[in-house]
Structure 1
Amino acid sequence: MSLLKEKIIGSAMQIFSQKGYAATSIQDIANDCGIAKGSLYKFFASKEDLLVEVYRSRTQVMFEESDRIKSNPELSPREKFVLQTHRQFEFFLEFKYSIKDFYELPMKEDGAFSKFLQQMRSQMLVNFAELMISVYGPEIEKHKWDLIALYTGILKEYMIMITLISSPFNYARMANFVVDRMDEMVAGIKKSTHEPILDAEVMSQFVARGMKGCHAPAGEQLHATLTKLMSSIEELQVTNARKSELHEAAHLLQEAAADESPRMVLVRALLGLLQSQHELVAIASQLERLYESKHTKLLT
């Protein structure tokens, strides 16, 4: 990377942090670098492209630090987990405007920044998946995506509080506390007979698409979830009459999915029938969100 390009990225990082993305102009950054605006455009076609590069440079530091921790032979898997959690807190504190001003950032579905976020999210999910298996063993493979959802949810809430509260936090203590809670949840999940909420095949497709910087089409998500519903019904320990009833509901939902304008009254009734079978509540809720999303798009 050229020295001038590094200078532009460093200037953008500082000014975005001070003024916010929306209030910062390309001219502000060019003035700070002591160059003409046209010279800046030789490196970055737009302010959004520059924002992507700012985020990419910071997240690259995070991933490199994660790799160093993972490759340290002196640390146990759990010690690596604690240290990586600690670094997550420090990283977001150093770059906290990314949370505080997140809602003003450009989030068009096909925009450069949105695609970058999808790639970054997928890379983090892959890293977390490897981390969970290394710490808790292959026996949690089936539930790893649920554990990652719980872990990242905890991190997110603490990070938001860090940005809002000015009092100092002990990040090492927080990291140990979070990992202790993960230990307890893993122990509980290992004893549980419940099926995972997040389907492994669907999550793998989600991550793969994210790596390419694209969303899974809504129709594809709906088809995959309906396929999962069919296989889940087959595994139920219920009477043949009950299974036949559930199968019929699933087939009618498939027909509704193929319809450009599904009858939502019928769809909701069928989903209600599925939710009356407790093993299908989670997947029926996923289907409800997908059908409602499809219906909303038709109205707009």
Structure 2
Amino acid sequence: MQIFSQKGYAATSIQDIANDCGIAKGSLYKIFASKEDLLVEVYRNRAQAMFDEADRIKSDLSLSPRERFIRQSHRQFEFFLEFKYSIKDFYELPMNEDGAFSKFLKQMRSQMLCSFAEMIVNVYGPEVEKNKWDLISLYAGILKEYMIMTTLITSPFDYNRMANFVVDRMDEMAAGILKSKPEPILNAETMSQFIESGLHGCHVPADEQLHMTLGKLMSTIQELQVTNARRAELHEAAHLLKEETADERPRMVLVRALIGLLQTQHELVVIATQLERLCETKRAKLL
């Protein structure tokens, strides 16, 4: 880490690291296949320390679930700060989509989401299960924004106070969701696929996202409080859209017309817009 920081990732060679360790370069290659693999393992070790600390806090039964939530939030702030500064030490990090470092970041994000999910349900009970991923998204977003602000502003911050403040706000949002019982923005099926792909260090394929979103469209139409004639019209549009998007080269004029029809039903606007984006992505890849 010290050599990477001093020379930059790109300028550092395996020979530099081997020399500093007092071993032959070949010996280092027996442990790490590449410089990027070595970098990943350094960060993985740091991340594992964070997860081990989270497990220690979760297993402390002398604390209430809410107290554990506050302590874990406090530790998240400390970890993000350490992680952000360590990354800022370097430049030219290997961030290509299929690289080992990018895969590691996806895996770490999925592990963190799983940890957050367990924490949220422990604090607010199984009643939040349906909406837990929306709560987790709000929680992660708050943490991220506070961390950005605390690295931009030079004033000292009380992270324990900040953790308590964040959990207070989570209490309020959880109570609001339990009272109003909204349909989730991030549903269990979508998040399960996202996390599973992340744990394997890859994205959910666009075609798979398209298939899942079409399935959600069909089920949502079935549950609409509309006349039978209107439901039949929307079903026909959805089936035509499914057939067209299954084609290797979908006709975008027809796709946009069908999506426009679906968007006339306000409950379908969000799903139809997602489908439009996925179809445009598929078209761009073909071009």
TM-score (norm 2): 0.92
Q: 2:25 aligned with 1:32, yes or no? A: no
- Pick closer, same or farther for the CA change 1:161–1:101 going to 2, 3 Å: farther
- Pick closer, same or farther for the CA change 1:222–1:133 going to 2, 3 Å: same
- Pick closer, same or farther for the CA change 1:120–1:35 going to 2, 3 Å: same
- Counterparts of 1:107 and 1:141, CA distance in 2: 34
Partner of 2:165: 177
Residue 143 of structure 2 is aligned with which of 155, 159, 163?
Answer: 155
- Counterparts of 2:16 and 2:223, CA distance in 1: 61
Query: 1:260 aligns to what SS in structure 2?
Result: coil
- Counterparts of 2:11 and 2:206, CA distance in 1: 34
State the one-letter code of the partner of 1:111: G
Structure 2: segments with no counterpart, 5+ residues: none
- Counterparts of 2:8 and 2:166, CA distance in 1: 31
Q: Bigger CA drift: 58-67 or 268-277?
A: 268-277
Q: 2:205 aligned with 1:200, yes or no? A: no
State the one-letter code of the partner of 2:162: M
Q: 2:80 aligned with 1:92, yes or no? A: yes
* CA RMSD between the two structures: 2.1
Partner of 2:69: 81
Q: 2:183 aligned with 1:190, yes or no? A: no
Q: Bigger CA drift: 89-98 or 233-242?
A: 89-98
- 1:228 CA drift (Å): 1.1
Q: Is the 8 A contact 2:80 2:147 kept in 1?
A: yes
- 1:69 CA drift (Å): 0.3
Q: Is the 8 A contact 2:74 2:163 kept in 1?
A: yes
- Counterparts of 1:101 and 1:154, CA distance in 2: 25
Residue 108 of structure 1 is aligned with which of 96, 111, 117?
Answer: 96
Structure 1: segments with no counterpart, 5+ residues: 1-12
- Counterparts of 1:125 and 1:289, CA distance in 2: 25
- 1:23 CA drift (Å): 4.5
Q: Is the 8 A contact 2:234 2:262 kept in 1?
A: yes
- Pick closer, same or farther for the CA change 1:99–1:264 going to 2, 3 Å: farther
State the one-letter code of the partner of 2:168: D
- Counterparts of 1:112 and 1:196, CA distance in 2: 33
- 1:188 CA drift (Å): 1.6
Query: 1:152 aligns to what SS in structure 2?
Result: helix
Partner of 2:277: 289
Partner of 2:45: 57
Q: 2:151 aligned with 1:135, yes or no? A: no
- Counterparts of 1:109 and 1:221, CA distance in 2: 18
Q: 2:220 aligned with 1:232, yes or no? A: yes
- Counterparts of 2:256 and 2:155, CA distance in 1: 48
- Counterparts of 1:19 and 1:270, CA distance in 2: 55
- 1:246 CA drift (Å): 1.2
- Deviation track 1:93-138 (CA, whole Å, cap 9, x = no partner) reads 1222356479843233332222222222221111111101000111
Q: Is the 8 A contact 1:146 1:197 kept in 2?
A: yes
Q: Is the 8 A contact 2:8 2:90 kept in 1?
A: no
- Deviation track 1:241-268 (CA, whole Å, cap 9, x = no partner) reads 2111211121121012111111222222
State the one-letter code of the partner of 1:210: G
- Pick closer, same or farther for the CA change 1:59–1:235 going to 2, 3 Å: same
Partner of 1:253: 241
TM-score (norm 1): 0.88
- Counterparts of 1:223 and 1:132, CA distance in 2: 29
- Pick closer, same or farther for the CA change 1:181–1:247 going to 2, 3 Å: same
- 1:235 CA drift (Å): 0.5
Q: Is the 8 A contact 1:256 1:267 kept in 2?
A: yes
Aligned pair count?
A: 287
Residue 124 of structure 1 is aligned with which of 112, 116, 123?
Answer: 112
- Counterparts of 2:202 and 2:261, CA distance in 1: 34
State the one-letter code of the partner of 2:247: D
Q: 2:256 aligned with 1:271, yes or no? A: no
Q: Is the 8 A contact 2:9 2:91 kept in 1?
A: no
- 1:62 CA drift (Å): 0.4
